[in-house]
Structure 1
Amino acid sequence: MSRLDEIDAWLVERLPQLLVEHRVPGAAVAVSSGGEVIDAAAGVLSTATGVEANTDSLFHIGSITKVWTTTLAMQLVDEGTLDLDAAVLTYLPEFRTSDSAAGARITVRQLMCHVSGFEGDLFSDTGTGDDCVEKHVARLTEVPQLFEPGEMFSYNNAAFNVLGRVVEVLRNRPYDECLREYLFTPLHLTHVAAGPYEAILHRAAVGHIQRDGDEPQPTPVWALERSAAPAGAMLAMRPRDLLAFVRMHTNGGAGPEGQVLSAASVKAMQQRQVELPDTGRLGDAWGLGWAIFDLPGGQVIGHDGSPIGQAAFLRVVPGRDVAVTLLTNGGNPLPLYADIFGRVLRELADVELPASPAPEGAAPPQDASRYLGTYSSSVWEITVTRDDDGRVWMRRVPKGLAIEIGKRIERVELLAWRGDTLVPATPDERGLHIPHGFIGDDGAGRARYLHIGRILRRADA
């Protein structure tokens, strides 16, 4: 029995038990090694209907879509119609942020690796028409420019909607149609949906949310706005089809009937563009679309996704021809991810999955004066204070989209971790202790930014 066969047998036996342990309603997994693919599924697609998940079920892949959007753009690079180092204005003359001078310097490459500098968590409902992405990009004129383009990393959803719009303009067709014509069709994908009208033709999962220890309940909506499709609002598929896309990337860009992407573009996407601060699970560096993880045993690329009430995970070890994806629809998916990916990567690729950041043995920072104050973005306002005992506290108030998806006001203690990076004493609803990095200087010896994967700028004088 091969190692892949052993993983297959283990998944068939263990996956249903793991879902119960972690209160995940339903999940589907696929693993590829040496060109062979195995998959498994368990649980239900919705606790309201009781429809069982199977290996052909569609789950949202969320922000993993960003790798697909980057691939569409790199195809245009191959054709000579897109220059990564050209300003976005070259292709979208109407593109603006609140800082027009900085916005004029943003390049296509910077969109792909989250260093464009403008705030990225803007989600706006601009309707369901084919012009929705165009209208969304037009609303970015008031979005704050947090830092100079290229200066640092800050995860940016809106940047990928801009990139999707560049693809639309150069292809002269909507983003959905670009996906179908340039990726779905040449890769022979059969269980994939660019939106709800296609998803309804399959067994599609519904997201679930839970509050205060309650059982997961179906979300009231299936997806975010269509205008955010290039960033990850819509794309859904079965795990096996996601790995067919990955197979093209590990096979030098070749698809079933020829090149889908050049080998040069495949390589370029996996090259480091920017190093990341301590952000927990986002990675150690970012390429073009891909996150890059420096793990014990080798380099891994991948991406995660967090659509409404669902969670998606993808890791690829190109040098070992191994890939694994897990698609879930709620509950507590992170321990499930750790159980499955830990075993698969260890046994098939000799790669160890690192432990998540944790505050064991940590204490309050000795001098917190640099960190105190209020930091703000379009989705969070975070105020850091120190009590009479010297303990440091974070009060996090949701705004905008965070309110819409059910986030609540929280007060959590922050403990010393690494240098100017602190970790919460208690985990969030996903079970994560997200590192909070205090970076830069506001001219008065205080941190200018709070980095939690996304940048929040100091809001107090």
Structure 2
Amino acid sequence: MTMEIDEVGEWLRERLPGLAQEHGVPGVAVAVGAGGRVVEAAAGVLSTATGVEATVDSVFQIGSVTKVLTATLVMGLVAEGLVELDAPVGRYLPGFREATVRQLLCHTAGFEGDVFTDTGKGDDCLERYVDLLADVPQIFAPGEMFSYNNAGYSVLGRIVEVVRGEPFDRCMRDHLFTPLGMTHAANDPYEAILHRAAVGHLGGRPVPVWAMARSNAPAGSMLAMTPRDLLAFARAHLADEGLRAMREPQVVLPDIGWGTAWGLGWTLYDLPGGPVFGHDGNTIGQSAVLRVDPGRDVSVAIFTNGGDRKPLMKEILDRVVESPAEPVPDPAARPDARRCAGVYLSSTSETTVSADQRGRLWLEQIPLGLAAEAGDEPYRTELLGWRGNSLLPAEPGHRPVAFLGDDGEGRARYLHTGRADVRAAGRIEA
């Protein structure tokens, strides 16, 4: 890859404008790093309302990729002996529910994680947010399984604040942005406006809101930067042996198309060509992806501000790093309708799984809350046999789902889509 970096840069500059146009992506920026060198490209516009050109110096929101930066701040405290991974969170935030710092980092704490309550713009917003989490339900026992937890990362941000004695965004700047030379990184809209800032688009139109609540900033509601700055962060992880522990597997993921395991912040992919790690992120109309191949010293960051970004991102990723093979249905694997059928609930979706008269299994999902606000749309798809407890949506563009646990009557307790959605008892039968 090191010898091909110039070729990749040339391909990006030639292909990116057409690729964005093909997929209705208003604006896109990409950076690829290899062997200490970085090539960049951008295409399209930052907003269809203004027509301002997207450039390599434009900042896009990185959404949940922020979580890896938050995890890195926590690991800095661990390295300094100020925080212990297996200590209860209550040691640092007295009165907090049962969970360890490690469980927050690898999404196994088990409480409802999609809590997006706005607790204001003041420096006390994280403190107030953590206080209200006392009322959210515990879905499963801490450590039982992986279930993606946005709220847990706001709790981690609060730990950083308390131990460092300064607001989270100042910790981010003092301990990551400045030492890593991330000159085009913005903690909030007030910093983003100092740069060329992308605006998200839904349905081809600019969204009316740029950022979400500050109380979710450590999880990904605010942070914006250039792809080049995100690669500076990725290179730090390749260079610092002290950060290698963050990409050690902590919990094996169900077969849902998200990766093989989760580390201390990173998504981990165990691929035939060697390990790859990374993270994805989405805000309202903006998306980001980061992938790092440590064996080849290669990293890539792709940012978009709307449109059908998945095929665009896939074409670029496939040029640079190895990706998991696309799942293919297994005709011999027959879905167990009785085990799977039911209604499954979370704060971001209501999902109904039912069997038709021919024995085929169908999934119908209605987005709720922030998922609906972010542009997710209802969809219905047949579920096909795939692998073990995991089934594959026939509708293109949707990841596998897993049916886990037992409700005591031989039926799945959870529908796992990245989050463990809980069966609503008695709502539907096969």
Asked if these proteins are the same fold (TM beyond 0.5), I'd say: yes
Task: Encode CA deviations 1:54-110: one digit per residue, 9 max, x unaligned.
Answer: 010000111110010011111111111101110000000132xxxxxxx32x10011
Match of 1:414 in 2: 383
Q: Please list, as runs of the form range in 1=range in 2, the aligned pairs for 1:98-109 lying within 5 A after superposition.
A: 103-104=97-98, 106-109=99-102
Match of 2:150 in 1: 157
* 5+ long unaligned stretches in structure 1: 96-102, 211-215, 253-262, 346-351
Separation in structure 2 between the aligned mates of residue 22 and residue 399 of structure 1, nearest angstrom? 26
Alpha carbons 1:426, 1:433 under 8 Å: kept: yes
Does residue 321 (structure 1) correspond to residue 286 (structure 2)? The answer is: no
SS of equivalent to 1:28: strand
Match of 1:34 in 2: 35
Match of 1:90 in 2: 91
Q: Please list, as runs of the form range in 1=range in 2, the aligned pairs for 1:58-457 lying within 5 A after superposition.
A: 58-95=59-96, 103-104=97-98, 106-210=99-203, 216-252=204-240, 263-264=241-242, 266-280=243-257, 282-345=258-321, 352-359=322-329, 365=334, 367-427=336-396, 432-457=397-422
Alpha carbons 2:66, 2:220 under 8 Å: kept: yes
- Which amino acid in structure 2 is aligned with residue 275 of structure 1? V
- Which amino acid in structure 1 is aligned with residue 230 of structure 2? L
- Give the CA deviation at 1:400: 2.1
SS of equivalent to 1:438: strand
The aligned length equals 425
Alpha carbons 2:256, 2:390 under 8 Å: kept: no
Does residue 459 (structure 1) correspond to residue 427 (structure 2)? The answer is: no
SS of equivalent to 1:277: coil
SS of equivalent to 2:6: helix
- Identity, % of aligned positions: 60
Does residue 5 (structure 1) correspond to residue 6 (structure 2)? The answer is: yes
Separation in structure 2 between the aligned mates of residue 197 and residue 91 of structure 1, nearest angstrom? 30
Task: Encode CA deviations 1:299-337: one digit per residue, 9 max, x unaligned.
Answer: 001001011101101110112211111011111111111
Alpha carbons 1:296, 1:353 under 8 Å: kept: no
Which deviates the most, 403-412 or 130-139? Answer: 403-412
Q: Any runs of at least 4 consecutive aligned residues in structure 1 with deviations exceeding 6 A, and if so which?
A: none
Separation in structure 2 between the aligned mates of residue 127 and residue 366 of structure 1, nearest angstrom? 46
Match of 1:43 in 2: 44
Separation in structure 2 between the aligned mates of residue 217 and residue 415 of structure 1, nearest angstrom? 35
Separation in structure 2 between the aligned mates of residue 314 and residue 406 of structure 1, nearest angstrom? 22
Separation in structure 2 between the aligned mates of residue 137 and residue 366 of structure 1, nearest angstrom? 41
SS of equivalent to 2:312: helix
SS of equivalent to 1:369: helix
For normalisation by structure 2, the TM-score amounts to 0.96
* 5+ long unaligned stretches in structure 2: none
Separation in structure 1 between the aligned mates of residue 38 and residue 206 of structure 2, nearest angstrom? 31
Rate the CA distance shift 1:187–1:367 in 2: closer, same or farther, 3 A. closer
Rate the CA distance shift 1:363–1:179 in 2: closer, same or farther, 3 A. same
Match of 1:349 in 2: none
Rate the CA distance shift 1:325–1:90 in 2: closer, same or farther, 3 A. same
RMSD value, Cα: 1.6
- Give the CA deviation at 1:362: 5.1
Rate the CA distance shift 1:318–1:446 in 2: closer, same or farther, 3 A. same
Alpha carbons 1:364, 1:390 under 8 Å: kept: no
- Which amino acid in structure 2 is aligned with residue 138 of structure 1? D
Task: Encode CA deviations 1:197-256: one digit per residue, 9 max, x unaligned.
Answer: 00000000011112xxxxx1111111211110000111100011111111111111xxxx
Separation in structure 2 between the aligned mates of residue 402 and residue 353 of structure 1, nearest angstrom? 26
- Give the CA deviation at 1:296: 2.4
- Which amino acid in structure 2 is aligned with residue 413 of structure 1? E
Alpha carbons 1:357, 1:433 under 8 Å: kept: no
Match of 1:348 in 2: none
Separation in structure 2 between the aligned mates of residue 406 and residue 286 of structure 1, nearest angstrom? 27
For normalisation by structure 1, the TM-score amounts to 0.89
Rate the CA distance shift 1:192–1:442 in 2: closer, same or farther, 3 A. same
Task: Encode CA deviations 1:260-309: one digit per residue, 9 max, x unaligned.
Answer: xxx33x121111111111111x2111110111011221100100101110
Task: Encode CA deviations 1:385-414: one digit per residue, 9 max, x unaligned.
Answer: 112121212222222222333444433222
- Which amino acid in structure 2 is aligned with residue 353 of structure 1? S
Which deviates the most, 397-406 or 71-80? Answer: 397-406
Separation in structure 1 between the aligned mates of residue 32 and residue 324 of structure 2, nearest angstrom? 19
